[in-house]
Amino acid sequence: MGNFFRLVFASLIGSLLSFVFAILLFFIIAIGMVSGLKDPKVAEVKANSVLHLDLGYPIAERTNKDFFSNFDFSSLDGEAKLGLKDIIKNIQKAANDDNIKGIYLELGTMPNGLATIESIRNELIRFKESGKFIVAYGEVVTQKAYYLASAADEVYLNPVGYLELKGFSAQLTFFKNMLDRLEITAQVFYAGQFKSATEPFRYDHMSEPNRKQVTEYLTDVYGQFITNIAASRKMQYNELDSIVYNLAIRQPEDAVKYKLVDELIYFDQLQAKLAEKTGKDKAEDLEFISLGKYDNSPGKKIDFKSDKIAVLYAEGNIVDGDGEEDNIGSARFRRALQDIREDDDIKALVIRVNSGGGSALASEIMLREINLIKDKGIPVIVSMGDVAASGGYYIACYADTIVAQPNTITGSIGVFGLLPDMGGFFNNKLGVTFDTVKIGKFSDFGDITRPLTAEEFSILQTGVDTIYLKFKRRVAEGRGMTVEYVDSVGQGRIWTGVQALDNGLVDVLGGIDIAINIAKDKAGLENYRTVDYPKQKDPFAKLFDSGGDEVEARFMKMQLGQYYPMWLKMKELKNIPSGVQMRMPYMMEVY
């Protein structure tokens, strides 16, 4: 009887929780509808306004138009967190807007890759050609944020604030000891001495080849970092290098002493300076307009053009099937590429790649579609973002021209496979055992409850080696190289954009604007418009397709903020990559 009551009580609790969840889900949908279906009024830009840029959030390639992404419990006036494309578009718009007198760049943390920051920084430098000012101010300023701020005319710091300038480090996360304690063995197959994506499952530290490539990568991007800041702040390279190397900025006053900050002021004093720059008598009269609101202000009227350049945004892990909006699903992208190929008004294709790779099969499926587009005579240009490595490079290698930022992570031409042996975990940790009846020598090939035999291991390693050879041949064919040369710059090794330009894996340094201009010239276009692919899902359809997963993701984003990507990485651990993979080093964070 006691068990019966416990069962009934548990059922009641479960029903109650389900009811609460349903009410919460309805509440979120209702709020989202109110927020999302509000008339998106055209934002009024008052005379002598200052555009306020607060970029302290993970910046995607495209703005998420889903109103749920803007939901905030503290406000019903959630503004869109703009993607890189719209950030750049609005900076360009502000340069030609007579009502915008300058930009106020709010500094803080900046949880974004260096290539993303480079694109925005370059656009800010171009903005200054309009004769308008850029003023940067922060309280606690990370070195990535300072790199962006160094493009400003004036940089200010709170008198009790902190400026971080300490040099670069890269941290990789290793799971070998955890797997050992759980008695899980990662059976690994790889091709390429630098192919370090499986190292977190094999070692508790970096291998020497991996340490070598990461050191050389950091050395290159650090050199770019120092060179560009020194140029903007009118300093010598060695002078700034010494300041950073020795952590000379330890107190706010040090930042002024070494001329990295112009003055220590409080926010009200900053407002007074901005008011003076915009011709206001009092700080209270200062007109700020946020980037999110400015996005809704009218820009230059663009005439409709029939000729189009397609821009395909390939961002996230490369996965089999449809995938989700935050990754690159082969089926979804195959359909998008087919739509591009069948649209006679599309005269060129720009693929924006921001991916560390993933499934080898999915990468090959997409490369086939890209090749079909080229066969039709449509020029294909690749623009690389923060990362275009391994599978991300595979889908780029057939392009007519490859454009990367100097600090893009690219290359990692290599392959691996991984199959866990979880027999010890099931038996010794959970007390679960298995017994199998086999008809056929390999009928239980791939069983994760036992170790592989030597013959099975050889079969899988041969498969990895075969795909690595295909990878090298694809790159050789696409880039006009020999397979032997590709192997010499391959082996799973990562390169910066500058290094990749030197070894021929990249053609041009620059952002997506450069790539679009190249596409325009190759297609012989004068008048054109860009169209984005793949099409973004309807927000309601996306919510109901994903069920509770979408709501869970929204809550985690709100709670974790800049640490949300780390949570996603930890979620991936429950599905250790299976099958043959083309991925760059796992979970490498550059600080």
What is the identity of the amino acid at 64? N
Of 292, 288, 289, 290, the C-alpha closest to 79 is 292
Strand partners, 494: 411
Residue 328: both structure tokens together:
């690159």
Going by C-beta distance under 8 Å and a sequence separation of 6 or more, which residues neighbour residue 191? 414, 415, 416, 464, 465, 467, 468, 492
DSSP state of 67: G
In the block, residue with structure tokens 């008048």: 527
Strand partners, 358: 318, 582
> Can you tell me whether residue 76 is helix, strand or coil?
coil
Strand partners, 190: 416
The question of whether 390 is a catalytic residue gets the answer: yes
Of 582, 381, 549, the C-alpha closest to 464 is 582
Range 7-10, long-range pairs (CB < 8 A, 24+ positions): none
What is the distance between the alpha carbons of residues 84 and 89, in angstroms, rounded to a whole number?
9
What is the identity of the amino acid at 43? A
What is the distance between the alpha carbons of residues 417 and 436, in angstroms, rounded to a whole number?
25
* Catalytic residue, candidates 85, 195, 293, 308: 195
SS3 content of the chain, % helix, strand, coil (to 5): 45, 20, 35
Of 140, 145, 94, the C-alpha closest to 116 is 145
In the block, residue with structure tokens 């719209």: 86
Residue 525: both structure tokens together:
């276009």
The question of whether 195 is a catalytic residue gets the answer: yes
Please measure the distance between the N-terminal and C-terminal CA atoms of the chain and give it in whole angstroms: 59
> Can you tell me whether residue 235 is helix, strand or coil?
coil
Of 418, 406, 397, the C-alpha closest to 489 is 397
* Catalytic residue, candidates 390, 412, 520, 557: 390
What is the distance between the alpha carbons of residues 81 and 292, in angstroms, rounded to a whole number?
7
DSSP state of 427: I
Catalytic center residues:
195, 390
